[in-house]
Structures are given as C-alpha cells and as structure tokens.
C-alpha cells in the first residue's frame, strides 16, 4: 500500500461518496455474497462448530489474561531455536528495527507476504524512506500496490476491483506484462506468476507477519493460498516476521482449534491451500521476530473492548455486514475495515480524529457480525460501549442530560407528556436551524393529545 489514510473525512462522508459508485457496489455485493455462501456451507459440515467457537474464544481469553508469561515463553523458545526476538512499543519503533535489520544484510529490496500488522504500521512507506523497496507478492496486494491504491478488505484487499480494472492496472504498471493480456482471471494470475518468479528466486530478505505463534514450541504459522507465502518464507536467506503480541496461542494443541475455525470462516474452504510452520532459524535461514504492541496493550486494559484482541483476521464479519457491503472498505479509513475495524481502529488509534470518533457509528447494530465471528467477539456490545466513550458535542450532552432528568422520574415524564400534548399544534413539521438535519430525511412524529398512561388511568379502571 503506498497511499495513506491520514486526514480522511468521517465515515458518513466517505460512505455517502462510496454508495454513489455503482461499479463498486456491484463488485462488493457479488464478492461478499459468494463468500458468505461458501462459508455457510463448510461451517455447516462441522457439527461441533459451536464447541470449536467456544474453545477459540476461551483459548484467546486465557492467553490474553497471561500474555506476559506466554510472550516470555515464546521469546525463550525462539531464541533457543536460533532466532532473534525484538520488541517494538509502537509503529515507529517496529519500522526502525526492520529497516536496521534489512540494512545489516546490505540489501535494498525485500519481498513481502501479505500481512495486516506491517500494513498497520506503514512499513512499506517507512522502508521506502530508508531507500528500501518492498515488493508485495500476494496477488491482491500486488494489485493494490501497482494501482497506488488502498486495501479495502482484510482477506481480499482488491475486492473493489473487477477483472477489467485489474487488467488495466497490470498493463499500465507491471513491467513486462504481455501486450495482449486478457481479463481472464487465469491470464491475470499467470502474468503475476511470471512477474514475481524472478523476484522470488533473487530475493535475499523477506518480511512476513504470522497468523499464530505457539508459545510452548516457539513456532510461527502462516496460512495462505497462492504459494507466495511459501516462496517468501523459505527461499530468502533472511526472514523477518512482524507479529502483533495478541497472535499467541499457549500450546501446539491449541492450533487444532484455529486451523478449523480460520479457513472455514475466511475463504470458506475446509482448508486453505498452503500453511507453513517454522520454529526459529530453519533450513539455514536467519530469523528475526519483531513483537509489536502499537496500542494493543491499551486495548487490553479496556474491560469491554479487550475482546477485540481475540480477532484472527478472518474477515467473516465484513462479508455479512450490510454497512460494509454498501459503503466498501475505504470508507473506514483504516487497514481494518468493516465491523471489526469499527471497534479495533478507534481503540488502537484512539478517538482523537473525527474519522475515528465516527467509526463506532458505522453500524446498524444488527448483530450479524457477532453471529459469524469464530471467536465470538460481541462487536455490537463493543460498538455501543465505544459510542459512550466517544467525545460528544456540548449541545448533545446537555440534551441527553435533560432527557435523562425527565425520564428518571415518572411524575416529571407525565408532566412533560401533558405539556407536549397541549403544545402539539405548535410543533412544526420541519425543525429549524441545525435540527433540520433530522427532519430533512425523517417525518416529525405526531405527538398524541393524551399519553397512554393518562388514558389508562382514566379508561383502564372501568
């Protein structure tokens, strides 16, 4: 990714623009509905899905409760297996560590496996400033990088692009792309294969993330489809993995739960084509693990919000979300779009910008995300909690305080209702000034002449 989300307007503004783009809406609808169906059918094959989900949830909660112990164990095991462990408090520190490690190899080019953590910290941009070129090797990431675009989905970052658009991007920006390239997915994949093959064989340094880390053994786990992950993880002499501290699992056995939950939730397959697992320096490689905090410990400190750290980045919540399906991923202004992004981004970045404050409202609270979440993150509950924590205007706070005062005592409410009933003829159909925003798109409800309570007191006793 070469763009930046900094300075984006609020979610409603972004979304209003996105819904005007009929091509985008068509692409998203087609993609999310296809993957929804696939997920439902493979999840339905396992009659112990509810139990797997409960295990996934409790394993993650247990790990987070003892995260300090498990991180220390992970560090010991990786070190014992010949790897080097680095700790990074924030994005800048992680980027500095990676840049230094790359420079120490004397190389100026690195290949990358798709990784959310390195996108989150803006690693490619940071490396570019140090004179290091990072080449994304996942097909969708490549499409995003060549098109100088933003990712719009966790799993399929180029989901907003259709085949014709991808062909255009390849012809314009991919060196050596065949002039007669068609827009057949097979031909486009072949072009990417040819373009990247030499790069894989020549690369001396690779950078990856990881889906899981096993504290008991010091093992890292990467799930993928194309084989670009295997290429990057096995061929280069030096491997640097940047991994969020919440990616830990205590034991090797715990992986049996997540290898069932993740592929079925994510790509809707019984298993993804390739999964690589390695422990420390493997087959003559040099291995560095960078453990990343970057806001995760402050999420951990929040009693309600900490459940967001269970997330295994499957993106099932994006695919079922009615808001995501219409607004698209870019509107969220973060590498984490959709329902999970709406609770993760404001917690990781804080709610200092109008965009980040608007994210907890990017939901109708329908709960579909909670239902499909393989680790049972109660996204609606966290959204409501964050809405309470977001900064509100003085007028809104005063209005809410006044309403609270009235609703708190039944006598006050009765008086207010009677007053409203008498004034009902005077209430305009459209509200004046800043309140007109409400009545522009909604009808002002009619105020009844008499409240139900008063009617009941009068008529109900007969």
Partner 1 sequence: MSAAAREVILRRIRSAVEGAPEAEIVRGYKGITGEPGDVELFAERVRDYKAVVHVVPRAEVAATIAGITAQRLLAVPEGFPSHWYAPSEGETDGVISTCAVAIAETGTIVLDAGPGQGTRAQTLIPDYHLCLVREDQIVPNVPDAIARLDATRPLTWISGPSATSDIELNRVEGVHGPRTLEVVIAIG
What does the block give as tokens for 243? 């991994």
- Stretch touching partner 1 by CB under 8 A, among 125-133, 135-143, 427-435, 449-457: 135-143
Contacts of 65 (CB under 8 A, 6+ apart): none
What does the block give as tokens for 326? 């219409």
**Does residue 22 touch partner 1 according to CB under 8 A?**
no
CA atoms within 13 A on the CB side of 459: 7
Torsion of CA 360, 362, 366, 372, to 10 degrees: -80
Alpha helices in 328-393 (DSSP H): 338-349, 354-358, 368-372, 379-389
Closest CA to 275 of 319, 189, 214: 214
Question: Distance from CA of residue 102 to its chain's centroid?
Answer: 28
- Stretch touching partner 1 by CB under 8 A, among 182-190, 389-397, 430-438, 445-453: 182-190
Orientation angle between helical segments 163-173 and 139-146, nearest 10 degrees: 60
Question: Distance from CA of residue 146 to its chain's centroid?
Answer: 22
8/192 with CB nearer partner 1: 192
Please select the residue that binds partner 1; options are 21, 48, 148, 371, rule is CB under 8 A. Answer: 48
Please select the residue that binds partner 1; options are 1, 110, 159, 376, rule is CB under 8 A. Answer: 159
**Does residue 283 touch partner 1 according to CB under 8 A?**
yes
Please select the residue that binds partner 1; options are 13, 25, 103, 163, rule is CB under 8 A. Answer: 163
**Does residue 25 touch partner 1 according to CB under 8 A?**
no
**Does residue 191 touch partner 1 according to CB under 8 A?**
no
Q: Which of residues 247-266 bind partner 1 (CB under 8 A)?
A: 252-253, 255-257, 259-260
- Stretch touching partner 1 by CB under 8 A, among 277-285, 341-349, 350-358, 433-441: 277-285
209-247 burial string, b = 16+ CB within 10 Å, else e?
A: bbbbbbbebbbbbbbbbbebbbbbbebbebbbbbbbbbb
The span from the CA of 221 to the CA of 284, in Å, is 18
Please select the residue that binds partner 1; options are 5, 13, 31, 421, rule is CB under 8 A. Answer: 31
**In the block, residue with structure tokens 């920006």:** 173
Total number of residues that touch partner 1 (CB under 8 A)? 92
Query: Phi/psi of residue 388, each to 5°?
Result: -65, -35
**Does residue 188 touch partner 1 according to CB under 8 A?**
yes
Please select the residue that binds partner 1; options are 58, 79, 439, 451, rule is CB under 8 A. Answer: 58
144/362 with CB nearer partner 1: 144
The answer to whether the beta carbons of residues 383 and 347 sit under 8 Å apart is no
218/333 with CB nearer partner 1: 218
**Does residue 36 touch partner 1 according to CB under 8 A?**
no
Residue 53 CB, nearest distance to partner 1 (Å)?
A: 9
Q: Which of residues 74-113 bind partner 1 (CB under 8 A)?
A: 81, 86-89, 93, 97
> Which stretches of 267-383 are assigned E, i.e. beta strand?
274-279, 286-292
Residue 379 CB, nearest distance to partner 1 (Å)?
A: 19
**In the block, residue with structure tokens 């070190």:** 79
- Stretch touching partner 1 by CB under 8 A, among 131-139, 335-343, 396-404, 417-425: 131-139
- At residue 95's C-alpha, the angle toward residues 147 and 76, to 5°, is 125
Residue 189 CB, nearest distance to partner 1 (Å)?
A: 5
Residue 302 CB, nearest distance to partner 1 (Å)?
A: 8
Please select the residue that binds partner 1; options are 273, 367, 420, 421, rule is CB under 8 A. Answer: 273
Q: Which of residues 207-236 bind partner 1 (CB under 8 A)?
A: 214, 216-219, 225-228, 230-231, 233-235
Please select the residue that binds partner 1; options are 19, 99, 171, 271, rule is CB under 8 A. Answer: 271
189/444 with CB nearer partner 1: 189
86/357 with CB nearer partner 1: 86
- Stretch touching partner 1 by CB under 8 A, among 14-22, 23-31, 117-125, 386-394: 23-31
Q: Which of residues 291-350 bind partner 1 (CB under 8 A)?
A: 291, 293, 297-298, 300-301, 303, 306
**Does residue 192 touch partner 1 according to CB under 8 A?**
yes
Please select the residue that binds partner 1; options are 156, 289, 344, 372, rule is CB under 8 A. Answer: 156
- Please state, in angstroms and as integers, the Cα–Cα distance from residue 16 to each residue in 31, 331, 332, 351, following that order: 21, 9, 12, 21
Residue 67 CB, nearest distance to partner 1 (Å)?
A: 5
- Please state, in angstroms and as integers, the Cα–Cα distance from residue 264 to each residue in 21, 38, 42, 233, 309, following that order: 31, 8, 6, 24, 20
Neighbours of 17 (CB within 10 A): 15
395-411 burial string, b = 16+ CB within 10 Å, else e?
A: eeeeeeeeeeeeeeeee
């Amino acid at each position: 990714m070469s763009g930046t989300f900094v300075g984006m307007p609020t979610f409603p503004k972004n979304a209003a623009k996105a819904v005007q783009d009929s091509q985008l809406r068509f692409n998203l609808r087609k993609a999310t509905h296809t993957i929804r169906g696939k997920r439902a059918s493979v999840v339905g094959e396992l009659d112990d899905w509810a139990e797997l989900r409960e295990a996934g949830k409790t394993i993650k909660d247990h790990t987070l409760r003892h995260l300090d112990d498990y991180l220390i164990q992970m560090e010991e095991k990786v070190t014992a297996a010949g790897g080097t462990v680095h700790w990074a408090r924030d994005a800048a520190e992680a980027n500095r560590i990676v840049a230094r490690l790359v420079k120490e190899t004397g190389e100026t080019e690195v290949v990358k496996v798709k990784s959310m953590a390195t996108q989150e910290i803006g690693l490619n941009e940071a490396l570019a400033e140090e004179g290091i070129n990072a080449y994304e090797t996942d097909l969708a990431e490549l499409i995003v990088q060549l098109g100088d675009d933003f990712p719009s989905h966790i799993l399929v970052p180029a989901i907003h692009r259709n085949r014709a658009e991808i062909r255009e991007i390849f012809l314009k920006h991919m060196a050596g792309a065949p002039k007669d390239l068609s827009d057949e997915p097979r031909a486009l994949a072949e072009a990417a294969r040819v373009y990247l093959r030499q790069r894989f064989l020549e690369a001396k340094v690779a950078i990856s993330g990881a889906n899981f880390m096993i504290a008991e053994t010091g093992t890292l786990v990467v799930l993928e489809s194309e084989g670009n992950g295997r290429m990057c993880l096995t061929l280069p002499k030096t491997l640097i993995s940047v991994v969020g501290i919440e990616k830990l699992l205590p034991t090797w056995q715990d992986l049996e739960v997540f290898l069932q939950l993740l592929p079925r939730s994510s790509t809707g397959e019984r298993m993804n084509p390739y999964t690589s697992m390695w422990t420390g320096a493997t087959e003559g490689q040099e291995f560095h693990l960078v453990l990343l905090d970057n806001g995760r410990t402050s999420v951990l400190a929040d009693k309600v919000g900490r459940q967001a750290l269970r997330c295994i980045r499957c993106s099932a919540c994006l695919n079922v979300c009615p808001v995501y399906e219409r607004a698209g991923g870019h509107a969220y202004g973060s590498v984490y779009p959709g329902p999970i992004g709406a609770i993760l981004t404001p917690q990781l970045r804080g709610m200092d910008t109008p965009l980040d404050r608007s994210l907890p409202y990017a939901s109708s609270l329908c709960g579909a995300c909670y239902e499909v979440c393989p680790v049972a993150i109660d996204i609606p509950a966290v959204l409501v909690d964050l809405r309470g924590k977001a900064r509100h205007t003085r007028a809104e706070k005063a209005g809410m305080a006044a309403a609270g005062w009235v609703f708190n005592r039944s006598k006050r409410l009765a008086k207010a209702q009677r007053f409203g009933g008498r004034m009902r003829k005077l209430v305009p159909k459209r509200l004046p000034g800043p309140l007109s925003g409400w009545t522009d798109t909604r009808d002002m409800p009619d105020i009844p002449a008499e409240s139900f309570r008063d009617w009941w007191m009068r008529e109900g006793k007969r």
